[in-house]
Amino acid sequence: MATLRVEHLNKTFPAIERGSDATTAIDDLSFEIGGHVFVSVVGPSGCGKSTLLNIVSGIETATHGSVSVSEDGSPARLGYVFQEPRLLPWRTVMQNMLYVLEGEDVPDRARDYLRMVGLDDAGGKFPAQLSGGMQQRVGIARAFAVEPDLLLMDEPFSHLDAITARSLREQLQGIWTEAKKTVLFVTHDIAEAVQLSNRVLILAPGGRLFADLPIELPYPRKASDTEVAMAQAELLRRFEEMQEETDAARATDVAS
The footprint of another protein (CB under 8 A) covers 57-59, 78-80, 82, 84, 86, 88-91, 99-100, 126-131, 146, 152
Residue number with CB closer to another protein (78 or 209): 78
Are 43 and 188 contacting, i.e. CB atoms less than 8 angstroms apart?
yes
Peptide linkage before 148 cis (omega within 30 of 0): no
- Provide, rounded to whole angstroms, the least separation between the CB of residue 171 and another protein: 19
The amino acid sitting at 103 is G
What is the dihedral angle through the alpha carbons of 233, 154, 23, 57, rounded to the nearest 10 degrees? 130
Residue number with CB closer to another protein (38 or 80): 80
| Rounded distance between C-alpha atoms, residue 253 and residue 182, angstroms | 39
- Provide, rounded to whole angstroms, the least separation between the CB of residue 229 and another protein: 35
- Provide, rounded to whole angstroms, the least separation between the CB of residue 146 and another protein: 7
What is the 3-state composition of the chain as percent helix, strand, coil, each rounded to the nearest 5? 40, 25, 35
Residue number with CB closer to another protein (138 or 190): 138
The closest of 122, 119, 102, 98 to 110, measured between CA atoms, is 98
Separation in Å, CA 212 to CA 30, 70, 159, 163:
11, 22, 27, 29
- Provide, rounded to whole angstroms, the least separation between the CB of residue 128 and another protein: 5
Q: How many CA atoms lie within 13 A of 243 on its CB side?
A: 8
Residue number with CB closer to another protein (100 or 191): 100
- Provide, rounded to whole angstroms, the least separation between the CB of residue 99 and another protein: 6
Residue number with CB closer to another protein (30 or 131): 131
Residue number with CB closer to another protein (77 or 199): 77
- Provide, rounded to whole angstroms, the least separation between the CB of residue 87 and another protein: 9
